[in-house]
Amino acid sequence: MKLNGKEILVCNCEGSMPINGKALAKACEGKSLSVHTHLCRVELGEFQRIAKRGSPLLVACTQEAPIFLEALEEIKDVPDIHFTNIRERAGWSHEGAKAMPKMAALLAEAALDIPQATSVGLESGGALLIIGRDGSAIDAAKQVAGRLQVSVLLTDGSVAGPTDVFPPTLMDVPVFKGNPATAAGHLGAFTLTVDDFAPASPSSRQTLKFGKGKKSESYQCDLILDLRKEEPLFSAQRDGYWSPDPGNPALVHKALFELSDMAGTFEKPRYVNFKEDLCAHSRNGVTGCTRCLDACPTGAIFPDGDHVSIDPYICAGHGSCASVCPTGAASYALPSADAMITRLATLLGTYLAAGGKAPTLLVSDAEFGEPLIAAMSRAGHGLPANILPFTVNQTTQVGLDFLLGALAHGAGRILLLLSPKERSETEGLAAQVKLAETILCGLGYSGNRVSLVDEMDPAALESQLYGLKPLTMPHGRFLPLGGKRELLGLALSHLHRHAPKPVDVLALPAGAPFGKVEIKTDGCTLCLSCVGVCPQGAFKDSPERPRLFFNEYACIQCGLCKVSCPEKVISLVPQLDFTVSAADRRLIKEEEPFRCIRCGKDFGVRSTIERITEKLATHSSFTDKGALDVIRMCEDCRVFAFMEVEDNPMASKERPLPRTTDDYLSEREELRQQAMEDIAAQQPEQKDS
């Protein structure tokens, strides 16, 4: 059987899980499917025979992937091969007999061609700085001194430096004292500012002594091992920085083992793609949206003019910026948002088409979630048949577009499983979950549809999953076309159309990326500053006459219009308007234009010009006759009017006309004519004489 051009190989793992090949093939819309029993051992020759056909392979086993890859080495033209796990995630379960729709869904998802993310290069020369408080830092340095260029920085917070460190008999690694003040950079390019920096004295006898310290010194290195047991130098994960518990020798040795291979060139995924033109951070020096800056735990995002910039070398793939970005300017690239929605549509669509009921999506990462699911399947009851595991790079990368998109494609419930390293960095994700629940509750969808799961015990998680009440959602079918706002629009339209209690307008909490603006039109002067700063084009003007339009569908509630309004007549109203008019351009205010009293051209707003004229009528600068007329003129006529004033200090003498060739020719002709006349006048005089 083939799926998306890939030959599907399925094994029941020595009969340890029930698989009906005929039913599974039908669910995958294939003609037939051979179910193997011992594909990785006894039937390995059959695997090689199928591989020699040259078609890409999808093997429904991840545990024995090394054996399959080794078997391919004997084949001349090695085909592309992919692996997926239907055993721990479906077959090894107390409900394994009912898991056929889930198996079909997992196979269909794995057969998709998902584009890979791009990468950035990191260079490490192997310069390692070990920071510690005692001799254990020197001992750690000696263990890797043969593979890396190691230096040791000892600190205890005192000016004199550590006083209880015995001097090594062989100083084969440089030792310094000092106190790290600041740290910046990434793998291959760290920079530290160290206070009281000083080298060890070679005459140290009983205890290690140091020379006179410098007040502040800049130190650069490629790698850092922090053994101080203090606040880490970086608040979040940073490539090239290790901070194990110095009281746990196993963790220290693990870090040293990893560090020993950290010299050379490395490839790091570019986790986030960024489009500057969609960013709503700032306009004209006024700050608007700061959602990504507030959510990023690594400090990889920083303001850069009217937009922000993301340093791919510092970015650790947390994904919270993509989760909270209202415009899609920051989008996760591992994989892309389009690929995620395609995976969701394939997984849920195949499951429901195969007869699956009430699907619950269990979202987790590979590092923490997959081992937890494996533990449940091996030592417990395994996953229920309606729990569809969905693996992402980081759970915190999930945003509102993913949540609503999954629900619109038929997921009855979404569970977001948090790994231990994500638990302190869930503010952005929690806000997205809360907003999704607000929308669902407002539309009448009962039950806790989206929730965070903070559970490390496989047995406790298993008990929680089996205790869930089945929930269903209407299955929608739409392609992932457009950007983030378009995807949200498609999902919201579907959810509203099938809502138990549809409403035209749904109020949302402050900070939601949907809503309208309220303008006190009496105070609005149609200065159009809101039009100039709106990054999404929600505000528009008219080239014909003074008009202000607003499109609620495009508004992301960034607040730039509110901050920029000189009259302070704009306020934000977060809401979801499901009516057709929300996508229309609404006229907010319209006034008569003022006609220039000199040329007759329309300019400005009549009420504004008249109000300014009235207020300046008594001003000392406008008491002269006709002084107020310049206010009633357009920008071009105003210049001419100023230049025509008699005592204009900028006035000058009349400029002479430039001389041309015609002028020179004309002068020459005049001289010739004059000469002819002079000659003619002299001829009669000669005759008389």
Over residues 241-262, the pLDDT tens digits come to 999 999 999 999 999 999 999 9
Percent of the chain with pLDDT over 70: 97
- Among 104-118, 166-180, 201-215, name the one with the lowest average pLDDT: 201-215
Over residues 428-464, the pLDDT tens digits come to 999 999 999 999 999 999 889 999 999 999 999 999 9
Quote the CA–CA distance of 100 and 60 in Å, as a whole number. 13
Quote the CA–CA distance of 139 and 187 in Å, as a whole number. 23
CB proximity list for 639: less than 8 A, separation 6 or greater: none
One domain for residues 566 and 630: no
CA atoms within 13 A on the CB side of 421: 18
One domain for residues 518 and 483: no
Please check whether residue 686 lies inside any domain of the structure.
no
Quote the CA–CA distance of 256 and 244 in Å, as a whole number. 10
Quote the CA–CA distance of 523 and 9 in Å, as a whole number. 71
Residue 571 sits in a domain whose CATH number is 3.30.70.3270
The token pair at 339 is: 């690929």
Please check whether residue 685 lies inside any domain of the structure.
no
Q: Does residue 528 contact residue 605 with C-beta atoms inside 8 Å?
A: no
pLDDT at 689: 52
Given a cut of 90, whether residue 310 has pLDDT beyond it is yes
One domain for residues 132 and 252: yes
Given a cut of 60, whether residue 86 has pLDDT beyond it is yes
pLDDT at 161: 52
Over residues 521-553, the pLDDT tens digits come to 999 989 899 999 999 999 999 988 899 999 999
φ/ψ of residue 570, rounded to 5: -105, 135
Q: Where is 302: in which H helix or E strand?
A: strand 301-304
Q: What is the mean pLDDT of residues 592-620?
A: 87
Please, which pLDDT band fits residue 158 given cuts at 50, 70 and 90?
A: very low
Residue 2's beta-bridge partner residues? 7
pLDDT at 516: 95
pLDDT at 613: 87
Given a cut of 90, whether residue 287 has pLDDT beyond it is yes
pLDDT at 685: 61
Cα distances (Å, whole numbers) of residue 291 to 78, 339, 545: 47, 24, 36
Quote the CA–CA distance of 14 and 185 in Å, as a whole number. 51
Higher pLDDT, 414 or 210: 414
One domain for residues 360 and 476: yes
Mapping DSSP onto H, E and C, the string for 110-135 reads HCCCCCCCCEEEEEECCEEEEEECCH
Quote the CA–CA distance of 543 and 548 in Å, as a whole number. 11
Of 489, 480, 478, residue with least CA distance to 553:
489
Of 506, 488, 521, 523, residue with least CA distance to 573:
506
Give the domain-ending residue among 472, 500, 528: 500
One domain for residues 136 and 221: yes
Helix segments in 315-383, DSSP class H: 320-324, 337-353, 369-379
Which residue in this structure is represented by tokens 């002067």?
525
One domain for residues 222 and 320: no
Quote the CA–CA distance of 50 and 81 in Å, as a whole number. 12
Of 179, 137, 139, 181, residue with least CA distance to 155:
179
Q: What is the mean pLDDT of residues 347-366?
A: 96
- Kindly report the number of other CB atoms within 10 A of residue 342's CB atom: 18
Of 9, 75, 80, residue with least CA distance to 38:
9
Please check whether residue 90 lies inside any domain of the structure.
no
Please check whether residue 661 lies inside any domain of the structure.
no
Please check whether residue 656 lies inside any domain of the structure.
no
- Among 290-294, 456-460, 638-642, name the one with the lowest average pLDDT: 638-642
Contacts 24+ apart (CB under 8 A), 141-146: 141/173, 142/168, 142/172, 142/173, 143/256, 144/256, 144/259, 144/260, 145/172, 145/173
Which residue in this structure is represented by tokens 């000199």?
598
pLDDT at 615: 84
Give the structural domain span for 43: 2-83
One domain for residues 431 and 558: no
One domain for residues 421 and 493: yes
Residue 452's beta-bridge partner residues? 416
Q: What angle do CA 120, 121, 122 make, to 5 degrees?
A: 125
Given a cut of 70, whether residue 295 has pLDDT beyond it is yes
SS3 at position 304: strand
Q: Does residue 35 contact residue 19 with C-beta atoms inside 8 Å?
A: yes
pLDDT at 160: 47
CA atoms within 13 A on the CB side of 619: 10
Q: Does residue 450 contact residue 402 with C-beta atoms inside 8 Å?
A: no
pLDDT at 117: 82
Q: Does residue 460 contact residue 520 with C-beta atoms inside 8 Å?
A: no
One domain for residues 193 and 245: yes
Which residue in this structure is represented by tokens 């900028």?
650
Quote the CA–CA distance of 628 and 612 in Å, as a whole number. 10
Quote the CA–CA distance of 399 and 429 in Å, as a whole number. 7
pLDDT at 207: 87
Cα distances (Å, whole numbers) of residue 72 to 63, 77, 81: 16, 9, 9
- Among 49-63, 91-105, 240-254, 620-634, name the one with the lowest average pLDDT: 620-634
Given a cut of 60, whether residue 159 has pLDDT beyond it is no
Given a cut of 80, whether residue 684 has pLDDT beyond it is no
One domain for residues 346 and 438: yes
Q: Does residue 379 contact residue 387 with C-beta atoms inside 8 Å?
A: no
What distance, in Å, lies between the first and last C-alpha atoms of the chain? 131
Q: How many domains does the chain have?
A: 6
Please check whether residue 112 lies inside any domain of the structure.
no
Over residues 378-425, the pLDDT tens digits come to 999 999 999 999 999 999 999 999 999 999 999 999 999 999 988 888
Please check whether residue 352 lies inside any domain of the structure.
yes
Quote the CA–CA distance of 86 and 21 in Å, as a whole number. 14
One domain for residues 183 and 326: no
Q: What is the mean pLDDT of residues 558-566?
A: 94
Instruction: Region of 559 please: left (phi>0), alpha (psi -120 to 50) or beta.
Output: left
Give the domain-ending residue among 267, 284, 306: 267
- Among 87-91, 230-234, 480-484, name the one with the lowest average pLDDT: 480-484
Higher pLDDT, 336 or 103: 103
Please, which pLDDT band fits residue 270 given cuts at 50, 70 and 90?
A: very high
Measured in whole angstroms, how far is the alpha carbon of residue 590 from the centre of its chain?
Answer: 39
Beta-strand ranges (E) seen in 546-610 are 547-550, 570-577, 586-590, 593-595, 602-605
Given a cut of 50, whether residue 30 has pLDDT beyond it is yes
Q: What is the mean pLDDT of residues 109-118?
A: 90
Given a cut of 50, whether residue 50 has pLDDT beyond it is yes
Please check whether residue 670 lies inside any domain of the structure.
no
Residue 453 sits in a domain whose CATH number is 3.40.50
Cα distances (Å, whole numbers) of residue 318 to 272, 292, 300, 393, 517: 9, 11, 10, 9, 32
Give the domain-ending residue among 590, 608, 625: 590
One domain for residues 17 and 132: no
Cα distances (Å, whole numbers) of residue 584 to 542, 561, 591: 15, 19, 21
